[in-house]
Amino acid sequence: MYVATYVVALVKFINIKNLFCFMKEELMQLGLTENESVVYLALLESGLTTVGNIVKKTKFHRNIVYFNFERLIEKGLVSYIIIKNIKHFQVTEISEFDNYIQKQKQEVMKKEDIARKLLPKIRNKHKIVHNEAIASLHEGVKSVKSVMETIFESSDKKFLLFGSGWGAKDRLGKSYYNNWFLRLTEQKVVGRFLLYNNFRFLEKELNKIHKLRFLSDDFDQPATVMVFDDKVIKKNNKYEFKFSELVNQWALHYNTNLEATRPRKPKDKPSVEGNVRISYLRVYAKLRNEVFTNLFDLNQKVMELVKQHVRLPFQKQSGTRLDKFINQEKPCLKPLPPEPFMVKHITWGKVQMNYHVFLGEDNHRYSVPFQYIGQSTKVIYDQQDVEIFIGFDRIAIHKRDYRPGGYTTVDGHMPEKHLKYKETLGWDANYFLSVGKQIGESSEEVFRKVLASKEFVEQTYLSCKGLKRLSEIYGSNRFERACKRALKGSRVNYGMIKNILEKNLDQLDENQRYLFSIPEHENIRGKGSFE
């Protein structure tokens, strides 16, 4: 009996708590601050009471409760009476809340009138000062979209785009991205693209109206830049390192220290800037009119000019820069490390249920011991190696693999017969085969082929899960027809099934292929000639 009473009371308490959370959000939407909403609801629940009781309920400081009471009194939502020289507060009549809402409406209408009168003046002022502006900075997807829309108002109808790609379709939205390119074609806006070789798959699609050129693999540009009229849109690669991190790594590798130049006492920044200026005059300026077709020739010419520069005598002291290096600096040099310096990137990832950690830059997964399933890891990687840490302990190291969508798995990281994996997640080959069998024969065959497509069957579970999700989204009938169509090919995978469903290929009439047949002619042999 006591247990039943306790359970009923607990349920009532939870329901009341949920109700008050919901009411707090609605009060905030009406214009009250979060603290005002909490104090108002506490007073509504308590009735006529003192500040002390509200302090206990809200856990707020006494001064905060008094401050919010004053704000609520100004809004007409709370009043007080004095009993034995002590203020007792209470919520005002509901009609006062209606009056508060009406005041809010009136204030909104006033703001609308002010805005309506002010906007024409702002537009005129903007036209006057627009030409005086040097530059303006826009950040965020909405701002980028608004800038991209101005390309259709451009009189030039041209734009330049170069870089490594920045996932515009994902960041701007697939629908907006496709519609924007469609409008470029309709309004005959021509783009000139300078891209890397890994974007050659866009050549057929964009060459219809735009002009494309591709850079060699020797060049690397971590940012994508789009230029038209007087506007520039720039997006950095999210995996690009920060300069401060690079400096620290470089100093640690060469066992040295780097310090920023000091602009005040002691002052060494001007002397550094002066040396940079001299280098520009004696090296960079002499190259401005020359043409180089490869990096080797360019580096050879730079080295030649640098040698000339260090052999020139000083103007106000004896000797040359080369003399100072040989006599003063060279004796202090230490031998270089045996390994060349490589930039190390840092990212974080959670060990997935298939005991792999995902490296987003390469779209590749690396295994760790299965005991760490579900734990957060720190991933440090360079051009050659991928190291995975938990705290200060390195739990795995792999050679970096650039295959997108691939797996790098060490046998020692796998549980015996994958029991740990099955117990934790509940996925196995039989489960996915049973899912396919419930849908139809073709679906079961597709799941069987996908499960057999990897060396370790556990690496196919994400693809099987994706197939199961497609069957739920598009329905069993469409999924079965898509699988039947896909099985006519030499191989089958998740991407093929998804493509068939998205493009509604499963709904095409199968007899449609017979609409086109080889004409009969005496020079054309039939299939009977090959029996």
Q: pLDDT of the chain along its 531 residues, tens only? A: 443 443 334 334 444 455 556 677 777 777 788 888 888 888 888 888 888 888 888 888 888 888 888 888 887 788 888 887 788 888 877 766 677 777 777 887 888 888 777 778 776 765 544 444 455 566 667 777 777 788 787 777 787 777 655 556 666 777 777 787 788 878 888 888 777 666 666 666 666 677 777 776 666 566 677 787 777 777 666 666 677 778 888 888 888 888 777 777 777 778 888 888 888 898 989 998 888 888 889 999 999 999 999 999 988 888 899 998 999 988 988 888 888 888 888 889 999 988 899 998 888 999 999 889 899 999 999 888 999 999 889 999 999 998 888 889 887 888 776 554 554 455 678 888 888 999 999 999 999 999 988 888 878 888 898 999 999 999 999 999 999 999 988 889 999 999 999 988 888 766 555 445 666 666 666 666 665
Q: Is 503 helix (H, G, I), strand (E, B) or coil?
A: coil
The amino acid present at 144, given as its one-letter code, is V
Peptide bond into 120 cis (omega under 30): no
Compute how many other C-beta atoms are within 10 angstroms of the C-beta atom of residue 506: 19
H/E run at residue 21: helix 2-29
d(CA 239, CA 251): 21
Specify whether the CB–CB gap between 115 and 126 falls below 8 A. no
Domain locations in the chain as residue ranges: 2-92, 141-236, 243-332, 345-418, 427-514
Number of Cα atoms under 13 Å in the Cβ half of residue 195 = 18
Q: What is the pLDDT of residue 169?
A: 63
Specify whether the CB–CB gap between 151 and 228 falls below 8 A. yes
Q: What is the pLDDT of residue 7?
A: 35
d(CA 100, CA 78): 11
The amino acid present at 75, given as its one-letter code, is K
pTM of the model: 0.43
Specify whether the CB–CB gap between 176 and 157 falls below 8 A. no
Q: Is 163 helix (H, G, I), strand (E, B) or coil?
A: coil
List of E strands, 338-416:
345-350, 356-359, 364-367, 376-381, 385-390, 393-399, 407-408
Phi and psi (nearest 5°) for 409?
-125, 130
Q: What is the pLDDT of residue 521?
A: 67
The amino acid present at 96, given as its one-letter code, is E
In CATH terms, 2-92 corresponds, of 1.10.10.10, 3.40.640.10, 3.40.630.30, 3.30.110.40, to 1.10.10.10
Q: What is the pLDDT of residue 189?
A: 83
Q: What is the pLDDT of residue 362?
A: 84
Neighbour-count burial of 365, counting CB atoms closer than 10 A to its CB (0-12 exposed, 13-18 middle, 19+ buried) = buried
